[in-house]
Structure 1
């Protein structure tokens, strides 16, 4: 009986640190990549717990696509935060970007966007690596 109580407490504490696993309510870090400038553009998300999501358009429902390994997820966030310096990047986002990369945590977000492959090299490499996590049939 005590084991059940301890397990329940451990699980409650585990999920309380990052909030919901549903992307819109997730309070931990997440990377959002939107491709295209149309309203129904595809959106790819990686949460810092490794869960990956996809949706078509900003109003559609999310499809869970699996989970990345912990070390891969940590490296991906470190690359975006330290090498790409997304929190301090001074790249002017065009009105209709072809690709937008956003780093989010709760209500804080930093975004970088570009048109027609005019991204700085570090972002282009990040984008290519990030998209390799997602199934080809979901990539646009």
Structure 2
């Protein structure tokens, strides 16, 4: 009888460990670095204004949202987007806006700058008030809507 109880306990422990392993494997985990300036995957960077303390919004392709005020300030993590909305944002910028092939003169003091980055590769489009291509205006509005209202400008 005691051998049967020990064997049943052993089977229970093995099943419990297996269930824990499966549950942990299904949890989505951010990939790569959690710091945007060291992240090697794709990221979208939107800078508003041309002043030194301009706000900067970042979306990494693992869904993490970041904000910082000024180009030298520290990043504040604002949460994480769902995978489908993250992929839509990148698809919109890459396929609809065609940021990799858009040729537009970046003004000296742009009001908005949209950048696509991956490791050391970067594509940027900037514009002054009223001179933005319509597709970029729409992208900008949808992108800023991903961030909490208190951090928007």
1:74 corresponds to which residue? 87
Query: What is the TM-score normalised by the length of structure 1?
Result: 0.87
Provide the residue aligned with 1:127 in structure 2: 140
For normalisation by structure 2, the TM-score amounts to: 0.80
The answer for unaligned runs of 5 or more in structure 2 is 1-16
- CA distance, structure 1, for counterparts of residue 42 and residue 35 of structure 2: 12
Selected match of 2:98 from 77, 80, 85: 85
CA distance in 2, matches of 1:48, 1:68: 10
Q: How many residues align?
A: 131
How far the C-alpha of 1:78 sits from its partner, in A, is 0.4
1:58 match: secondary structure? coil
Structure number, greater radius of gyration: 2
Residues 12-31 of structure 1: pairs in structure 2 closer than 5 A: 18-31=31-44
The alpha carbon displacement at 1:137 in A equals 1.2
Segments of structure 1 that go 5 or more residues without pairing to the other structure are none
The corresponding residue for 1:54 is 67
